[in-house]
């Protein structure tokens, strides 16, 4: 574990430890609570959604859209999302095995560097929060506890002890770091709190909107998509945030923006998405020389025009292979391996057996009144030149009525009507 993350862990745990009550022995005279098998199963699944599945839609597919993915540290498997469930498939291709299932929508998987955990986003608590689960999909645990602000785009620290995610709040999207053993998390990259030592990373204040962090192998830097002023395509650019000082350097000035950066395993290159001639592609920047070139163009379109902070990031998550020689990305409905040196692409074929649980139909019967309808909305009324009649639009028809004196609220006599 790096000194940086160790120090941050101490800062995160000081307050909770001081606030904890002294452990108490379990009362011996209190009768054991009656067990509820249904509640116990729900608790075990960590699924707090109140809906119950009524039917299951099953089919087989070999493609998908807006797929975020990650590669295991041994380079043997690809974990990806598909229609709200998480799957894994050999990096050479084959049948995909489902890791999570049920009504919750699980997305954006990221495998920990030690290969033991998967971080992902799920609405199984009622809103999008950060969760982790063992590599086999068992023992899921919620790390964040958001009810209004959504959490997106998780990534791991090099020591596998922390998960960094973007929190979509009204004041802007901020990065927050959570320890896998719990805590409320710490905001990264904002101004230090009053009284904090110089260089303390993050103090909870408002800062630039940042999305989709990628951590350098030594844990020193975060590479993020950072929003600047304006609303054009160049609003988003790649920034490098120093975790020691909190300072950020914008390292791209691309006219088509800079999105979803991914630093290489050796820390010498960063891949990012940008727009060119209405289409999105990936570029590679050498962090030592500054050389910048195209890796692949085009890929699936980005979400820069969605306004604000996109609900699933600007570009789906992709990943380097452990040796840094290839990028694995989803585009055109398929999974692809892209050679970083040559840009050559090879498809990773997969077949996934989808089983979508469908909740009850939200239908409520109500009575539709029959007979004459009293209009409550009159649009664009106009007085005739002689001042005696009114013409207006009501329920997609034009009506002409005799004009009444001011204060007379009786319905006027309908003189005639015609369709617009």
User: Taking the model in full, what pTM does it have?
Assistant: 0.75
Distance, in Å, from the CA atom of 123 to the CA atom of 111, rounded to the nearest integer, reads 19
What pLDDT is recorded for position 335? 98
DSSP for 208-234, please give it. Answer: --EEEEEE-TTSSEEEEEEE-SSSSGG
What pLDDT is recorded for position 393? 92
What pLDDT is recorded for position 54? 83
In 143-245, beta strands by DSSP E: 150-156, 162-169, 172-179, 186-188, 210-215, 221-227, 236-242
Expressed in angstroms, the distance from the first to the final Cα of the chain is 73
> Are the CB atoms for 333 and 352 separated by under 8 Å?
no
What pLDDT is recorded for position 190? 55
Helix (H, G, I), strand (E, B) or coil at 131: strand
All structural domains of the chain, each given as residue ranges with its CATH number in brackets, are 51-358 (2.120.10.30), 379-419 (no CATH)
- 186-188 and 172-179 beta bridge pairing: antiparallel
What pLDDT is recorded for position 330? 98
| pLDDT block averages, 10 residues each, the chain of length 420 | 45 36 38 49 56 90 97 98 98 97 95 98 93 96 92 97 90 90 84 36 61 96 90 89 92 95 98 96 96 97 85 95 98 97 97 92 83 85 90 89 70 48
């Amino acid at each position: 574990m790096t000194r940086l993350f160790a120090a941050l862990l101490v800062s995160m745990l000081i307050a909770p430890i001081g606030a904890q009550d002294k452990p108490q022995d379990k009362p011996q005279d209190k009768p054991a609570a009656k067990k509820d098998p249904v509640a116990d199963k729900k608790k075990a699944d960590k699924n707090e959604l109140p809906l119950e599945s009524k039917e299951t839609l099953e089919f087989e597919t070999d493609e998908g859209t807006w797929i975020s993915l990650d590669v295991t540290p041994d380079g043997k498997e690809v974990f990806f999302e598909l229609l709200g469930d998480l799957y894994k498939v050999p990096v050479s291709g084959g049948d995909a095995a489902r890791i999570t299932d049920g009504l919750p929508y699980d997305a954006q998987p990221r495998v920990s560097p030690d290969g033991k955990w998967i971080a992902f986003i799920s609405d199984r608590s009622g809103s999008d929060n950060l969760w982790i689960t063992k590599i086999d999909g068992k023992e899921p645990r919620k790390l964040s506890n958001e009810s209004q602000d959504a959490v997106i785009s998780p990534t791991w620290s090099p020591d596998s002890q922390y998960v960094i995610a973007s929190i979509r709040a009204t004041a802007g999207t901020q990065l927050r770091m959570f320890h896998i053993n719990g805590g409320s998390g710490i905001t990264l990259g904002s101004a230090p709190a009053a009284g904090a030592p110089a260089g303390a990373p993050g103090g909870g204040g408002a800062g630039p909107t940042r999305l989709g962090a990628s951590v350098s192998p030594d844990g020193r830097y975060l590479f993020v998509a950072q929003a600047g002023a304006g609303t054009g395509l160049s609003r988003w650019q790649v920034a490098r945030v120093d975790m020691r000082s909190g300072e950020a350097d914008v390292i791209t000035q691309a006219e088509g923006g800079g999105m979803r950066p991914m630093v290489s395993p050796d820390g010498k290159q960063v891949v990012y998405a940008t727009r060119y001639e209405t289409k999105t592609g990936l570029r590679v920047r050498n962090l030592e020389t500054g050389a910048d070139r195209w890796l692949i163009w085009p890929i699936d379109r980005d979400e820069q025009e969605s306004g604000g902070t996109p609900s699933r990031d600007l570009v789906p998550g992709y990943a380097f292979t452990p040796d840094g020689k290839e990028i694995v990305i989803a585009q055109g409905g398929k999974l692809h391996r892209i050679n970083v040196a040559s840009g050559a692409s090879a498809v990773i074929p997969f077949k996934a057996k989808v089983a979508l649980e469908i909740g009850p139909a939200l239908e409520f019967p109500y009575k539709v009144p029959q007979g004459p309808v009293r209009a409550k909305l009159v649009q664009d009324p106009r007085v005739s030149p002689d001042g005696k009649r009114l013409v207006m639009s009501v329920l997609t028809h034009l009506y002409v009525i005799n004009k009444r004196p001011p204060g007379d609220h009786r319905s006027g006599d309908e003189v005639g009507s015609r369709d617009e």
